[in-house]
Amino acid sequence: MAEPAKKPANIVINESLCKGCSICVDFCPTNVLAMNGSVVAVKNLEACTKCQLCDLRCPDFAIQVF
Ligand code: SF4
Ligand code: SF4
């Protein structure tokens, strides 16, 4: 069977490492992320292009995109 053309991103947030700085929210070009209280949350996974800016910009290694 053929691979689907577009596999959804797998965004892994480590809530115990996230300090809620919202840098990742600000850097995401497609507004995938949003703050949920003091931790970041995925609000629109469909829009994720897997650019990994959030992953690269997080100072605390709290978010990873696969
Ligand atoms: S990988 Fe890119 S598009 Fe996806 S959540 Fe992170 S910054 Fe946004
Ligand atoms: S950049 Fe990192 S520490 Fe800051 S809100 Fe995003 S995941 Fe949390």
Q: Is residue 51 packed enough to be buried (19+ CB in 10 Å), middle (13-18) or exposed (0-12)?
A: middle
Nearest CA to ligand 1 atom 6: 54
63 Cβ closer than 6 Å to some ligand 2 atom: yes
Q: Are 63 and 16 in contact (CB under 8 A)?
A: no
Q: Are 27 and 53 in contact (CB under 8 A)?
A: yes
Report the number of distinct structural domains present in the chain.
1
In a domain, 60, yes or no: yes
In a domain, 49, yes or no: yes
How far, in Å, from the CA of 60 to the mean position of ligand 2? 7
Q: Are 23 and 59 in contact (CB under 8 A)?
A: yes
In a domain, 47, yes or no: yes
Domain limits for position 43: 11-65
In a domain, 54, yes or no: yes
In a domain, 51, yes or no: yes
pTM of the entire structure? 0.91
65 Cβ closer than 6 Å to some ligand 1 atom: yes
* Per-residue confidence in pLDDT tens, the chain, 66 aa: 666 667 899 999 999 999 999 999 999 999 999 999 999 999 999 999 999 999 999 999 999 999
Q: What is the pLDDT of residue 32?
A: 98
The domain spanning residue 44 has which CATH number?
A: 3.30.70.20
Q: Are 9 and 50 in contact (CB under 8 A)?
A: yes
In a domain, 3, yes or no: no
